[in-house]
Structure 1
Amino acid sequence: MRTTRTIRTPLLTAAACLAVTALSAAPASAVPAALSAAPASAVPAAPKFLSAGQWPASLTPWAAGPVQQGLPAEGSHCTAGTTPAAGTRHRDFRTELDTGARQTITVAPTTAQAEALAAKLRTALVSCLDRLKEQDPGLDGVSRYHGRVNAEEGAHVYSIDTSHPEAGSTDIGLHAVGRDGRTVTVLEWGQLGDLDGAPLKGFEKTTGTAVAKLH
C-alpha cells in the first residue's frame, strides 16, 4: 500500500501550493492600474484567462480563484525567477481533491521580448527536474517533452513525474508554455500520482484553448 508523506516534493506541489491559495485573495482589476486612467479606446483588451470548466475533467468540479496582478507568492517552482512581475497576472484553480492548477499570463513590451521569455520558460522547464534533484538528492523523477500544440504562435507541453522512494510518495506535474504575439502564458497542473494517471490529452486540449483564448 502506497503512503504519502506530510512534506511533499518541491515540484509544483500544485495540489498543496496552488490549491491552498487558489481562492484566498481578493479579486484584482482586469486592467493594470497604469492603464486605468487612459481613455477606454486607448486601453488594449486584457488577455483572457481560462475558466474553471476548461481544465481537464476531474472527479470533483474545478473552482477558479480571482485573477491577481503580478507573480504568485508561492508555487511555480520550475519557472520561479524567469517571468517579470511587470505585465504579469495569474489565476489559481483547485478541486476538492488533491489537484491544483495555475495559469500565468505576461504581456511583454515587444514581440521579440515575448519570444525570448517563452524560450527562457521552456528552458526552465527542461532543466527543472535536475534543479529539484540538486535541492533534494533523495528525489527520483522523469521529465518528458510531449510536443507542440498548434495554437497561434504555438505552445509546448512538458511533464515532470517525481517520487521519493523513502516516503513512497509520487507527484505528477503537467506544464505548458504558449505565445500569441506579445502575450505569453504558462499553465501548470499537478496532483498526487504519476503520468499514467494524468489527463495528458485533456491538458493538451486545455493548452490549445488557453492560447487561442488570450486575444
Structure 2
Amino acid sequence: MLTTRSRIAVTTGTLIALAVPTLSWSARADQPPTTDSTAPAVPTFLEPGELPPHPWSDWYAGEVGAGPSDAPLAYIDHLLPEENLWHRRHWTEYDAGALQVVMDAGDPDTAAELTAGLEEALANAAADWLRENPGSVAGWDEHCGTEAGDSSAVYSVHTAPPMAGTSIHLYGIGRVGEHVTVVQWGQMGSLGDAPVEEFRTTLATALNHLAAD
C-alpha cells in the first residue's frame, strides 16, 4: 500500500449515543436523470465489475439517478452542490457497498475548488468525528492518487464507536475538466481491511470514463 500520511486517534469521556456512518446498501429505485436538452449530459458511471472484487459476492448496481443519493456520503455530503449532480449505488450480498457521485461544476476552476474542499474535509474526517463522538476510536490514511484525470486523491477513514461494530470507508476524489467524481466504498472492518490498490484502479477507471465522455 502506498500511503503518505496515517493517523490513529482515541478519545476518552462520557459514552453517549453515537451517530455513526451507516453501511446501508439496499437496492432501491433511484430518480432517473432528466432529459432536458439544456441540462448537462449524464456522465458515464462505473459498472459493477469495475469495483474492487468481493471474495464471496458479485457486485450489483442501481440505475444512474439525478440529484443526491438518499444514502448520504458521510463526512462530505454537506459540500455537494444541489444541481448538476448524479449518483449510482452499488451493493453486494454482504455488508460491502459503494456509491459514486459525479458533479458538473460548470468550469475547471470551480471544479478544482470543489475538489480541494472535499479533500480537506476527508483529511479532517476522523478528527471531526471524534470530537462529536467522545469515547470512540477513529483513524485515517491518505493514499497516493492515480495518474488518471486532472487530479485525484484516495483516503481511508475508520470509525469505531464504543461497544459497537467498526466500519472502514475508502473515498476517491477525482477531477476531469469541469467534472468532479467521488467514489465511496465501505464495509465493516478496520484500516487493514481496505483494498486500497484495487480501489485506486476503480478510481482511475471512473476518471477515464469521464475523460472519454
Alignment TM class, shorter chain as reference: 0.7 to 0.9
Structure with the higher fraction of residues in helix conformation: 1
* Equivalence map 1:191-210=2 (5 Å): 191-210=187-206
2:189 is equivalent to residue 179 of structure 1: no
Which residue matches 2:120?
Answer: 123
Is the counterpart of residue 105 in structure 1 residue 102 in structure 2? yes
Q: 1:60-75 maps to which residues of 2 (within 5 A)?
A: 60-75=57-72
Q: Match for 2:186 among 186, 190, 198? A: 190
Look up the equivalent residue of 1:179 and give its one-letter code.
R
Residues 46-86 of structure 1 deviation map (CA, whole Å, 9 limit, x = unaligned): 31000011000002001001111111233312112101021
Distance between the aligned counterparts of 1:66 and 1:94, measured in 2?
12
CA distance in 2, matches of 1:37, 1:206: 30
Counterpart pick for 1:24 among 14, 22, 28: 28
Task: Give the share of equivalent positions with the same residue, in percent.
Answer: 30
Deviations 1:185-212 (A, max 9, x none): 0010000111222211100110100111
Q: Where does 1:32-71 land on structure 2 (aligned, <5 Å)?
A: 32-33=34-35, 36-37=36-37, 45-58=41-54, 59-71=56-68
Partner residue, 2:13: none
Counterpart-to-counterpart distance in 2, 1:8 and 1:151: 38
Give a deviation string over 1:103-135, Cα, whole Å, max 9, x none.
000001111111111111101111111221122
**Structure 2, unpaired ranges of 5+:** 1-16
Aligned-pair distance for 1:9?
6.1
TM-score norm. by structure 1 comes to 0.84
CA contact (8 A) 1:100 1:190 kept: yes
Which ranges of 4 or more aligned residues in structure 1 deviate by more than 6 Å? Answer: none
- Tell me the TM-score normalized by structure 2: 0.84
RMSD across aligned C-alpha pairs, in angstroms? 1.9
Aligned pair count? 194
Matched with 1:10 is: 20
Which residue of the partner structure matches residue 90 of structure 2? 93
Question: What's the secondary structure of 1:148's corresponding residue?
Answer: coil
1:150-189 to structure 2, matched below 5 A, reads 150-164=147-161, 166-167=162-163, 169-189=165-185
